[in-house]
A and B are shown apart, each in its own frame.
Chain A
Amino acid sequence: NAGVTQTPKFQVLKTGQSMTLQCAQDMNHEYMSWYRQDPGMGLRLIHYSVGAGITDQGEVPNGYNVSRSTTEDFPLRLLSAAPSQTSVYFCASSQRQGGGETQYFGPGTRLLVL
């Protein structure tokens, strides 16, 4: 199993540009989520999905869109990039266990918005 994969590893955008961060998992996990991590900070939940076709907002959803058309993929779209979105983005997945599940994280995407 490849686990959770994220592409690209690093991206530079100009203010106002849009882009999609890709996330895929091959473990048939129901839950997937996106976090951002700013320097020296913990992770903050952006959006999450409890299954194909179902998404919900986390702590910091503004400026981001998600969709979940398949179990495997959970892309994160930046609609109009802003310097405040410069961060490291992590995708995670887990199997539903009612609170005791283990989250598996991807290696992250470093995003720089100029």
Chain B
Amino acid sequence: DAKTTQPNSMESNEEEPVHLPCNHSTISGTDYIHWYRQLPSQGPEYVIHGLTSNVNNRMASLAIAEDRKSSTLILHRATLRDAAVYYCILRASGTYKYIFGTGTRLKVLA
């Protein structure tokens, strides 16, 4: 199963953009890139996903490198409610195995 590598923690000031990186150098052509986040004492919640092209939704943007070996989750204006652990996950098409890493703990400073 392909693995992802993320920094353990990051800090951001409130109202500023945040770029959360993820390396997935062993990604295969059919692996989707998913991002989930987990607020304290809650289950994970979906943020965004993509395959090859950059993606935008109301929560965030996902920028995928041309060779797909890395991606970046972009929160355009961080708020205190965005403080959470963010997981970058590869999900192979045709399977149902999501392999979570340890994620990046995002701290948002007021």
Contact = CB atoms under 8 A, between A and B. Distances in A.
Contacts of B94: 98-99
Which range contains the number of B residues in contact with the other chain?
20 to 34
B103 A105 contact: no
B45 interface: yes
A74 interface: no
A99 B51 contact: yes
Contacts of B101: 42
Contacts, number: 59
B93 A99 contact: yes
Contacts of A61: none
Given A41-B102, A42-B100, A99 B43 contact: no
A50 B100 contact: no
A98 B43 contact: no
A33 interface: yes
10 contacts: A4-B43, A31-B96, A42-B100, A43-B44, A48-B97, A56-B96, A59-B97, A90-B44, A103-B36, A108-B43
Interface of B: 30-32, 36, 42-46, 49, 51, 87, 91-94, 96-103
Given A43-B87, A92-B43, A103-B98, 14 more contacts: A4-B43, A33-B96, A43-B98, A44-B100, A58-B97, A90-B43, A92-B44, A98-B94, A99-B51, A100-B51, A102-B46, A103-B44, A105-B43, A105-B44
